[in-house]
A and B are shown apart, each in its own frame.
Chain A
Amino acid sequence: MPAHAASAAAAPQPILSLRDVEKTYGRGNKQVDALRGVTLDVYPGEIFGIIGPSGAGKSTLIRCINLLERPEKGQIFIDGVDVTGFRGRRLREVRRNIGMVFQHFNLLSNRTAAGNVAFPMEIVGIPKGERARRVAQLLAFVGLEEKADRYPSELSGGEKQRVGIARALAMEPRILLCDEATSALDPDTTVAILNLLKSINQRLGLTIVMVTHQMHVVRSICHRVAVIDQGRIAEVGPVMELFSNPRATATRRLVGEAAGIA
């Protein structure tokens, strides 16, 4: 599978498509529109960024992909299959093909690093021996073979996120979702985690969708990016193109802010 953005963008079939996705919270005059008709396509092998200011709806958007949030309107296609209405068993099967990494890691505190990585495999009933072998491989892959028997409380933020990533890769997913995966980490650790994600993308050809509010995250590893503002996609395109020639106001604001910080 091609891992580069250029060849991926030319691929005919998107691995993930959202069509006119709408999501609101609350009721009556307290109603908040989190997503107001979001349409986008993600192609196999690309790292797709979703960036926007806080409250723009980016977290809601990524959580709609594996239906942790259920949109009121619109459709979600995974590999061309409309999964929007999936529930129960069929939904769980879809979810097993989509790994997810969280801002606050969401590890089980009473399981070791190895136990956490084994968790998704236990769920589908992979036999113990094979599980142990794959856990060892995955921990080695994220550089944590030494910490297999440590509990999350004994690990640093970056190490916890490596466990989270190993866990998300355990079921060999088709897509990896990262919800602000580096936002709780310090700058050095952020760079290390981003490099890990990049190498996962290159070595496994895994499609990655990542939500962030940090420009430098998008700039350092994403191939394409969608700028989201007030529940709408303001602009989508290759990272370089978008940031060198921003058209939407939201994009200009982001570029301006990033320039101001740098």
Chain B
Amino acid sequence: MLNPQVLQLLWQATLETLYMVACSSALGALFGLPVGVLLVVTAPGHILPNRVIHRITGVVVNIGRSVPFVILMIAIIPFTRMIAGTSIGTTAAIVPLTVSAIPYVARLVESALSEVDFGVIEAAESMGATPLQIIWKVLLPESLPSLVLGFTITTVSLVSYSAMAGAIGGGGLGDLAIRYGYQRFRSDIMIQTVVVLVVLVQLVQMAGNALARRLDHRHPS
């Protein structure tokens, strides 16, 4: 059974995980969204075609996506120190989590925005909409349900990444599982931690799905 002490540990670790995931997914979305938009609108035949920007952005995003999180986390320690003032702790972990989320979000935004029927974009062009108006009033609202699902996927991935961040002193549920569950052979705590993670992921996914469904008017309800 759960004793109050373990419960306290779990609660603390859950809060830390929530803090890391909430901050990094919000920041990842904030920075990843414009990158994803850039990827879409600069593509050939789109509203602001630009081969050079499109290629460069694509390559940078791919590099970001291909570096394993554990390596990224260590590689950018100097950058993390610059931003967070330290490379250890929950707040410091937000930096590599955000950096790894940005290219991830960018690709998900790209795929969501590419789903928008080009006829609708042309209709807006035919009405004299500026490229910025097309982005704000057509591309983003029309793909909102897909964007919400994309952000949900990102958040879920960040929950598991945040557990890895725990391994280098980031705190949170991953840290708890390793320190108590693995290093001190407390498999009960290990299991309880995993249960909390599973519940967390379920809740995030359910909330995301529900929100996306509410926002979607593409099919008759």
Hey, which bits of chain A sit against chain B, CB under 8 A? 66, 68, 91-96, 98, 100, 102, 104, 106-111, 119-120, 122-124, 151-154, 167, 171, 177
Contacts and interface: CB of A to CB of B under 8 A. Distances in A.
Contacts of B128: 91-96, 120, 123-124
Contact of A122 (B137, B144, B215): B137
Given A92-B128, A110-B142, A119-B137, 15 more contacts: A66-B126, A92-B129, A94-B128, A100-B123, A104-B119, A106-B117, A106-B119, A110-B144, A110-B215, A110-B217, A119-B124, A120-B128, A123-B129, A123-B133, A153-B218
Contacts of B159: none
A158 B119 CA distance: 18
A68 B129 contact: no
A151 B142 CA distance: 12
8 contacts: A93-B128, A100-B123, A100-B126, A104-B119, A106-B119, A108-B142, A119-B137, A120-B128
B126 to A, nearest CB: 4
B122 interface: yes
Contacts of B220: 153-154
Interface centre among B122, B123, B124, B218 (most CB of A within 10 A): B123
Contacts of A95: 125-128
A102 B197 CA distance: 50
A27 to B, nearest CB: 14
A9 to B, nearest CB: 27
B130 interface: yes
Interface centre among A92, A104, A109, A120 (most CB of B within 10 A): A109
B101 interface: no
Given A106-B119, A106-B122, A110-B144, A120 B127 contact: yes
B74 interface: no
Interface residues of B, number: 25
A92 B141 CA distance: 22
Given A106-B117, A107-B120, A153-B218, A68 B141 contact: no
A111 B142 CA distance: 9
A123 B127 contact: yes
Contacts of B120: 106-109
Interface in B21-74: none
A120 B221 CA distance: 27
Interface in B76-129: 117, 119-120, 122-129
Contacts of A96: 127-128
B134 to A, nearest CB: 10
Interface string B136-174: 011001101000000000000000000000000000000
Contacts of B138: 108
Identify the 3 closest CB pairs spanning chains A and B, nearest first: A92-B128, A106-B123, A96-B128
Contacts of A154: 220-221
Contacts of A108: 120, 138, 141-142
